Amino acid sequence: MQISDSSSEEKSQKEQEQIEKGMDIEPNKIILNWNYKDIKKKLTYDIEKCIGCSLCKVVCPVDAIELGPIAEIAQGLIDESNPKLLIDHEKCCYCMLCAVVCPNDAFHENIIPEGEIDLEQFPKLGKFYERDEERCVIDESKEICKLCIEARERNRVKDYYRIQKECPEKCFKIRSPINGNVVLKENMLWKCDPSGCKACVNICPVDSFFIPETAEDVKKYGKIACNEDECFYCGACVNSCPDDLIIVERNEIEIDDPQKEGNYPWIQGWIKNIKQILRDQLIKEEKPHQIPLIQQEIQEKKEEIEEEVPQLSNEERAILNELNKKVQSFLKLKKVRYWIKDGKAEKVGKELKKLLSK
């Protein structure tokens, strides 16, 4: 029996050694190759098509994908020909999940013999568009109609955005298989430099981010804003922001499963990994019971502290009220508001200390 096990291990090791992996680089493309016996797999990463959303990184089952210098590329500090992603071809298992979730066809699979593995049989994200077929009139003499026919074969949100704007029948619209919210960290927006940075505006594939221009819009939105009617919550803006001012919250995801969640382990594995796009939401759902416990503990400690606080005399209250008036008047000063906005905390503290010492 021991001889049989040893023989089986040696056979498995020899088969593993027969797998050949390699990587080729072409202009604007990185090509990963995998060969085993009579099957060859090729995974092409198109640098120009990549929008830097990192959905591929989130679903990768072997952590073979890392983010590149997305913020620097989005700000124009380095050339766009630099890859937004770094792929470890030795780690890559060539499952092709990245090609299935990519919203802009930046990954492309090629499997030989053709038809040996059909990715159409595997779960994937729902469509990134909707089309009113009753209103649609296809005129192949028009460039936009040709583009529409071609683009609908794979996820190509940049082309979808153009089709939406130029469709003569207005029957094509971007829709998102991901539902969520874009949150700007208001308490940190003083760091935002929309005139010098524009990273989120530059990288967004559907122009969701914009810089308010009129006084009315600036008052309404602030320095930067996102039109969520166009947004599909890819997360490229998050990766591009050099000051970490943007959060994309994803709450729901539409998964198109032709097997209807079949019992095959690889089908369940794909669904599980695609659901990782909702990772933050899943973590919240797993631990909802902790919130009331924490609140209860805080309330109990608060009550304990309140019992220990001594009562102030009328004279002490008068002194505190006077100090409060001074601080409130100080904070209303125009120059102080500008210092706070520009993050000059040291200057504010110094001036306040001088005021209170009088």
CA 150 to chain CA mean position, Å: 26
Is residue 3 over pLDDT 60?
Answer: no
- Lowest-confidence region among 54-58, 86-90, 182-186, 282-286: 282-286
Q: What's the CA gap between 55 and 100, in Å, rounded?
A: 10
Neighbouring C-beta atoms of residue 165, cutoff 10 Å: 12
Q: Which of 90, 104, 128 is nearest to 56 (CA)?
A: 104
Nearest C-alpha neighbor of 187 from the set 243, 245, 248, 238? 245
Question: What pLDDT does residue 120 have?
Answer: 82
Determine contact, residues 30/82, Cβ cutoff 8 Å: no
pLDDT of 8 reads 58
User: In whole angstroms, what is the distance from residue 321 CA to residue 194 CA?
Assistant: 41
Instruction: Please say whether the beta carbons of 122 and 99 come within 8 A.
Output: no
Q: What is the mean pLDDT of the chain?
A: 83
pLDDT over 80 at 284, yes or no: no
Percent of the chain residues topping a pLDDT of 70: 82
Task: Take residue 326 and report the two structure tokens written for it.
Answer: 């001074």
Per residue, the 3-state secondary structure of 265-334, as one string, reads HHHHHHHHHHHHHHHHHHHHHHCCCHHHHHHHHHHHHHHHHHHHCCCCCHHHHHHHHHHHHHHHHHHHCH
Long-range contacts from 65-69, C-beta under 8 angstroms, 24+ separation:
65/98, 67/239
Q: pLDDT-derived band of residue 258, with 50, 70 and 90 as boundaries? A: confident
Backbone angle region of 260, left / alpha / beta, with phi > 0 → left and psi within -120 to 50 → alpha: left
pLDDT at 289 over 50: no
Distance CA 123, CA 119 (A): 8
Mean pLDDT of 240-255: 94
- d(CA 174, CA 50) in angstroms, rounded, equals 18
pLDDT in tens, 105-133: 999 999 998 877 888 888 999 999 999 99
Tokens 């819009």 sit on residue? 217
Share of the chain above pLDDT 90, in %: 54
With 50 as the cut, is the pLDDT of residue 233 above it? yes
For the chain, the structural domain boundaries read: 129-175, 326-358
Lowest average pLDDT, out of 155-164, 268-277, 312-321, goes to: 312-321
pLDDT at residue 91, as a whole number: 93
What is the per-residue pLDDT for 162? 95
| Pick from 44-53, 85-94, 277-286, 292-301: least confident | 292-301
Whole-structure pTM value: 0.72
First-to-last CA distance in the chain? 91
- Measured distance CA(276)–CA(63) in Å, rounded: 13
Which pLDDT score is estimated for 220?
85
Q: Name the residue with higher pLDDT: 38 or 295.
A: 38
**182 DSSP β-pair partners:** 248
Give the number of residues written for the chain: 358
- Min mean pLDDT across 23-27, 221-225, 247-251, 325-329 is at 325-329
Mean pLDDT of the 34-47 span? 92
In this prediction, residues 266-279 reach a mean pLDDT of: 89
CA 261 to chain centre: 26
At a CB cut-off of 8 Å and minimum separation 6, what does 44 contact? Answer: 29, 30, 31, 32, 107, 108, 109, 110
Average pLDDT of span 320-325: 74
Q: Is the pLDDT reported for residue 225 higher than 60?
A: yes
Amino acid 222: pLDDT: 86
Minimum mean pLDDT range among 7-11, 79-83, 151-155, 321-325: 7-11
Amino acid identity, residue 23? M
